[in-house]
Amino acid sequence: MLREAWMRSARAIATFAIAVVCLFATNALVRTPRATVSADDIAARAHKLHFSSYVIDTHDDTTQRFLSKSSFDLGKRYTDGSIDIPRMREGGMNGIFFSIWIDGKTMGPEAIRQALDQIDLVRTNVAKYPNDIVLCRTSEEVRRAHAENKIAALMGVEGGHMIGNDIHIVNIFADLGVRYMTLSHFYNTEWSDSSTDKPVHNGLTDFGKEVVREMNRDGIMVDISHVSDKTFYDALEVSKAPLIASHSSCRAICDHVRDMSDDMIKALAAKGGVIQINYEKSFIDQTYKDAYAKATGGVVQHLDELKKKCGDDGECFEREMKKAEEQLIAEGKLPHVTWEKVVEHIDHAVKLVGADHVGLGSDFDGANMPEGLEDASKLPIITEALMRKGYSDADIRKILGENTLRVMAAAEKVSTEMKAQNP
Ligand SMILES: [Zn+2]
């Protein structure tokens, strides 16, 4: 309730502010028409640029909704959650990586079985709307989907535990259309350390390095979100293709192990990789992260508890996550975090390594989103903010999606070369 009251007063303040701005704008129009035309011009230019760009999000947990809600319909507009075709269309989001995720404690054949089940769910749900969304395996297929005004659906496996320690499963995932794999999730796998677990392997084991090479061979991008810093540096050394962090932000702004330090971002970029900025409030705002940790023991632990409580029921997870956060806000234990924080992370990474190495990895449908970026329909706000900061059209296009396509193409090239050398 408190949140609603806050929203109401925020809306009232916003209406007043708009009225004041309009008044000044009218005066400005008389005195300095150029300035006003320029401001309007940016909004119009940003809109045009956004809706003609590849806008690709490398991490969305919407698959969990397919799992739990047999009635969840990708083609229907919902008021809860963040992703459905109507809201993707409204926000110009034309590329999405559906995450394949199961709890990191599930191992072996059961982990493989559940992962395959989720891959099948993504494929069948996407197949229901052939005029709107199409499963893509290559950067070229994404470009073709865009040319046909269709959303490109891709898949990423979030956690190496889902190969069940069997390297051939990497090949099967590749055949089924998986285009990245996160080496570990909240827990260590038997061959890679996680950032949120106690390190036991000192990064990647020899088998872990073999998995990375096999992913290179199959054109599956190596994702280092969630892994320990040492696992990241090991993967960076072993991989022949550039890496991605599918959903991580900048530690320099918010000191969280799930984020990347400036040194890591520089090392990632030096080998052609991309950091895809995560919108989760605990990963982007230090005050929120500290307050959340104080109230719950930390976002990773808390989400893990909720996932345990709800099991495979993604709807339950989302409901419980929202409920817990609303309660903490109502109790005054959490500060408000707004969408501008995401732009701050993008800008930090761009200043550090340039616009060629930054992208978008929201974590929609799996995390707490900042105000103003609650769902896919809100994405144009990022483009406009970057344009107002003076970013060039070309740089904005890279951040929105071109960088992701470039890394995909690089992974495909490495795969072709490796297969030619050793068929
Ligand atoms: Zn994640």
User: Cβ–Cβ contacts within 10 Å for residue 75, how many?
Assistant: 13
**How far apart, in whole angstroms, are the C-alpha atoms of residue 248 and residue 132?**
29
**How far apart, in whole angstroms, are the C-alpha atoms of residue 224 and residue 184?**
8
**DSSP labels, 118-149:** HHHHHHHHHHT-TTTEEE--SHHHHHHHHHTT
**How far is the first Cα of the chain from the last one, in angstroms, to the nearest whole number?**
62
In the reported structure, the alpha carbon of residue 258 is separated from the centroid of ligand 1 by a whole-number distance in angstroms of: 9
**How far apart, in whole angstroms, are the C-alpha atoms of residue 405 and residue 398?**
9
Token representation of residue 366: 């799996």
User: Cβ–Cβ contacts within 10 Å for residue 310, how many?
Assistant: 18
In the reported structure, the alpha carbon of residue 185 is separated from the centroid of ligand 1 by a whole-number distance in angstroms of: 7
Taking the whole predicted model, whether its pTM rises above 0.85 is answered as yes
Task: State the amino acid at position 249 in one-letter form.
Answer: S
| Cβ contacts of 205 within 8 Å, gap of 6 or more | 190, 191, 192
Q: What is the pLDDT of residue 321?
A: 80
In the reported structure, the alpha carbon of residue 61 is separated from the centroid of ligand 1 by a whole-number distance in angstroms of: 8
Task: Decide if 138 contacts 83 (C-beta within 8 A).
Answer: no
In the reported structure, the alpha carbon of residue 40 is separated from the centroid of ligand 1 by a whole-number distance in angstroms of: 38
In the reported structure, the alpha carbon of residue 335 is separated from the centroid of ligand 1 by a whole-number distance in angstroms of: 23
Q: What is the pLDDT of residue 308?
A: 78
User: Cβ–Cβ contacts within 10 Å for residue 7, how many?
Assistant: 11
Cα dihedral 223→229→232→238 (10° resolution): -160
The closest alpha carbon to 201, from 230, 158, 243, belongs to 230
Residue labelled with tokens 């494929």 = 123
In the reported structure, the alpha carbon of residue 246 is separated from the centroid of ligand 1 by a whole-number distance in angstroms of: 8
In the reported structure, the alpha carbon of residue 226 is separated from the centroid of ligand 1 by a whole-number distance in angstroms of: 7
pLDDT in tens, the chain (423 residues): 333 333 444 444 444 444 434 334 434 333 434 444 466 799 999 999 999 999 999 999 999 999 875 689 999 999 999 999 999 999 999 999 999 999 888 999 999 999 999 999 999 999 999 999 999 999 999 999 999 999 999 999 999 999 999 999 999 999 999 999 999 999 999 999 999 999 999 999 999 999 999 999 999 999 999 999 999 999 999 999 999 999 999 999 999 999 999 999 999 999 999 999 999 999 999 999 999 988 888 777 787 788 778 876 767 877 888 888 888 888 889 999 999 999 999 999 999 999 999 999 999 999 999 999 999 999 999 999 999 999 999 999 999 999 999 999 999 999 999 999 988
**DSSP labels, 267-324:** HHHHTT-EEEE---HHHH-HHHHHHHHHHHS-HHHHHHHHHHHHTT-HHHHHHHHHHH
In the reported structure, the alpha carbon of residue 147 is separated from the centroid of ligand 1 by a whole-number distance in angstroms of: 30
Task: Decide if 83 contacts 60 (C-beta within 8 A).
Answer: yes
Alpha-carbon distances of 332 from 247, 302, 322, 335, 340, rounded to whole Å? 28, 18, 15, 7, 21
**How far apart, in whole angstroms, are the C-alpha atoms of residue 375 and residue 83?**
6
In the reported structure, the alpha carbon of residue 159 is separated from the centroid of ligand 1 by a whole-number distance in angstroms of: 9
In the reported structure, the alpha carbon of residue 158 is separated from the centroid of ligand 1 by a whole-number distance in angstroms of: 7
Alpha-carbon distances of 137 from 173, 175, 303, rounded to whole Å? 11, 9, 31
